[in-house]
Amino acid sequence: MKRKTFLKGMIGAAALAAMPLSAAAQDPIKIGEINHYKRMAAFAEPYRNGIELALEQVNENGGVMGRPLEFIFRDDQGEPGEAIKIAEELMTRDGAVMLTGSILSNVGLAISSLAAQRGYVYLASEPLADSLVWESGNDYTFRLRTSTYMQAAMLAEEAAKTDATTFATIAPNYAYGKDAVSAFKENLLRLKPEAEFVAEQWPALFKIDAGAEVQALERSKPDAIYNVTFGPDLGKFVREGTDRGLFEGRQVFGLLSGEPEYLDPLGAEAPEGWIVTGYPWYDLKEGAAGAFVSAYQERWDDYPRLGSIVGYMTVQSIAAALEKAGSTETDAIREAFKDLTLDTPMGEITYRGIDHQSTMGAYVGTLALRDDKGVMVDWVYKDGADYLPSDEEVSKLRPAD
């Protein structure tokens, strides 16, 4: 039996050696995907579902350069140190040709720094920190998702159209919150120089004392409020603010508050009238946007979240860059991403050569209740290219590569 098994193995090896070289090209192109699948499952799973849907479509259509595209999913537990360890393994042991992933900005920045040190391409799919492509930007890191600055600028544009002149802000006390408030102020004051900021509240992330924060905002008597809280902090802020009448007669501008990830948990408590950025999947029926929603629902028997479309566009972006590069070599992939343009369910986007930020836009609309659930109404899609600083400004923000 052993001799027969040995002979069969020899015959199989000989047959494999005799196969044409083109067969070797069928080996998958591997992408290392690092994310917080356990720690942030509610956000990471829809994102992964979007990736899986796009991978199925890409591979059903012949893959990339005639090879199947494969993602290696690894969980970093939301810890920068663990993400670095995993990234090293993906690069040296698992054969990944590039890296992608991360929701938390501190993890994304850690991976980005490693990518620069090791000369490895990293597509930051979801981290929002502006420094990722500006102050801490490097030649190997690209970012897909609409940045904090871009979405804050969109809301500032809406705020400038109102009669409000005094504004109060509330944001979590860490880098993302600071960036979001700074960007809103910068853009609003440029559009409405008479605007005045009368209060700033900085609750600790996920440790908000909502009652105290609402009282402090009420004491400042602002015409309008700019809110950056999200997740459980958003729910607590909305409930306390509603109970105490903080939002009555005031316009509120909510960053990310229209995204299903944050809006859906509020249910019938969703605050009507807020102007927000988000993702109104329920109204997307036509064109590429509607086709994505339909395909996602059919595949997963569930509706897409914002993370779902980001995951889907992550695969689209990587496939397009690899096809443009015509190679899996790092330098070729890096150069292909610069000024890469592709069609997506959110329209055409471009990865700007100057700072590696994509021009993916965002939906801006007003919150309302529909069947006791919060939805965005009167929404418009705003092209991200219209809400980025000029090349001259970016050149001052971004270090030389």
How far is residue 136's CA from residue 398's CA, in Å, rounded to a whole number? 7
pTM score of the predicted model = 0.92
DSSP state of 380: E
Q: What are the helix and strand counts (H, E) for the chain?
A: 14, 14
- The total of structural domains in the chain comes to 2
Task: Report the interhelical angle of 306-325 vs 330-337 (nearest 10°).
Answer: 120
Q: What is the pLDDT of residue 17?
A: 41
Classify residue 399: in a domain, yes or no: no
Per-residue pLDDT, 401: 57
**Predicted local confidence at residue 21, as pLDDT:** 42
**Residues 123 and 222 reside in one and the same domain:** no
How far, in Å, CA of 86 to CA of 80, rounded?
10
First-to-last C-alpha distance (Å) of the chain = 62
pLDDT higher than threshold 90 for residue 3:
no
CATH number of the domain that 240 lies in?
3.40.50.2300
pLDDT in tens, 234-275: 999 999 999 999 999 999 999 999 999 999 999 999 999 999
Residue 70 lies in a domain: yes
Question: For position 336, what pLDDT does the model report?
Answer: 98
Quick one: 51 and 120 in the same domain? yes
pLDDT digits (tens, 9 = 90+) for 321-349: 999 999 999 999 999 999 999 999 999 99
The answer to whether the CB of 148 falls within 8 A of the CB of 185 is no
Q: Within a domain: residue 3?
A: no
Closest CA to 366 of 384, 354, 351, 378: 378
Summarize the confidence of residues 102-117 as an average pLDDT: 95
Last residue of a domain, one of 325, 341, 360: 360
Q: Give residue 223's pLDDT band: very low, low, confident or very high (50, 70, 90).
A: very high
Average pLDDT, the chain: 93
Residue 175 identity: A
- Does the pLDDT at position 140 exceed 50? yes
Please tell me whether residues 110 and 56 are part of one structural domain.
Answer: yes
Residues 112 and 184 in one domain: no
Which structural domain, as residue segments, surrounds residue 95? 23-147+285-360
Over residues 48-87, the pLDDT tens digits come to: 999 999 999 999 999 999 999 999 999 999 999 999 999 9
Concatenate the DSSP letters of all residues of 331-346 into one string.
HHHHHHHTT-EEEETT
